[in-house]
Amino acid sequence: MQYDVDNIITIHWIKKCVLASEYLISKHAEDERKNDNLSLSDIESVLLNGDTIEHYSDTGRGPSCLVCGTVNHKPIHVVCGKNKHSWLIIITVYRPAWPKWNAPNRKEPVMEPYGDCIYCGGEVIERVQRVDYRLHGQLYILEGVPAGVCQQCGELFFTAEVARRMESVVAEATGPVETLPIPVIAVK
């Protein structure tokens, strides 16, 4: 993989941005960190105590990199990008796990049915997760959905079979397993 050595994100720059609170965090990263029971200050501490372990080429949206750090002595990975205005973007957050990661810093090549992300060229791996699914203004939360998740930009990809299954379970949604009250709060 080729990348512009002058355009690599350094851990020094990431730390400077975090200390100045000059960063953006994607909705995907927010969702992922909450799923992993991580607070925003946990993510900041990973970036402040961690180091870059991989760099990804600029595929048109700016360079990105993978930072490995720890929270309560457990490894956490944070994918960071730098946009055209030189803002730090926290793209996604996850706990490195087998089979992809044999050790926090060591990746094991595995067969990937999803290939690379069509949007950013990032690696797409399968996870079973919750998916927000809106139809005719109604929000459904679908549990246990296998999806390919881009480790770089967070885009989700579904196989045709899974997409059809989601469409039919929502169309036939006679008995949800539970109904959650969803508070709507204005952010001022």
**Residue 153 in the binding site for Zn ion (CB under 5 A):** yes
Q: What is the DSSP string of 86-113?
A: --EEEEEEE---TTTEEETTEE-----T
- Residues 97 and 114: beta-carbon distance below 8 Å: no
Position 78: which residue type? V
Q: How large is the C-alpha radius of gyration of the chain?
A: 18
Residue range at the interface with Zn ion (CB under 5 A); choices 22-30, 39-47, 101-109, 144-152: 144-152
Please tell me whether residue 114 binds Zn ion under the rule CB under 5 A.
Answer: no
Residues in Cβ contact with 6 at an 8 Å cutoff, skipping those fewer than 6 apart: none
Return the DSSP state at 119. T
Counting contacts by CB under 5 A, is residue 43 touching Zn ion? no
Q: Does 78 bind Zn ion (CB under 5 A)?
A: no
Stretch that binds Zn ion, among 95-103, 110-118, 161-169, 176-184 (CB under 5 A): 110-118
Residue closer to Zn ion, measured from CB, 71 or 150:
150
Strands 64-71 and 156-157, bridge-based pairing: unpaired
Question: Binding to Zn ion by residue 63, rule CB under 5 A?
Answer: no
User: Which of 43/152 has CB closer to Zn ion?
Assistant: 152
Sign of CA dihedral 50, 30, 126, 117: negative
Residue from 70, 11, 80, 19 nearest 42 by CA: 70
Q: Which stretch binds Zn ion (CB under 5 A): 27-35, 45-53, 105-113, 152-160?
A: 152-160
The piece of 69-77, 82-90, 149-157, 166-174 that touches Zn ion (CB under 5 A) is 149-157
Angle between helices 40-49 and 27-35 (to 10 degrees): 100
Judged by CB, which is closer to Zn ion: 145, or 153?
153
Closest to Zn ion by CB, 81 or 96: 81
Q: Is position 120 an interface residue for Zn ion (rule: CB under 5 A)? A: yes
Report the residue from 155, 158, 162, 165 that binds Zn ion according to the rule CB under 5 A: 155
Point out which residues bind Zn ion (CB under 5 A): 117, 119-120, 122, 150, 152-153, 155
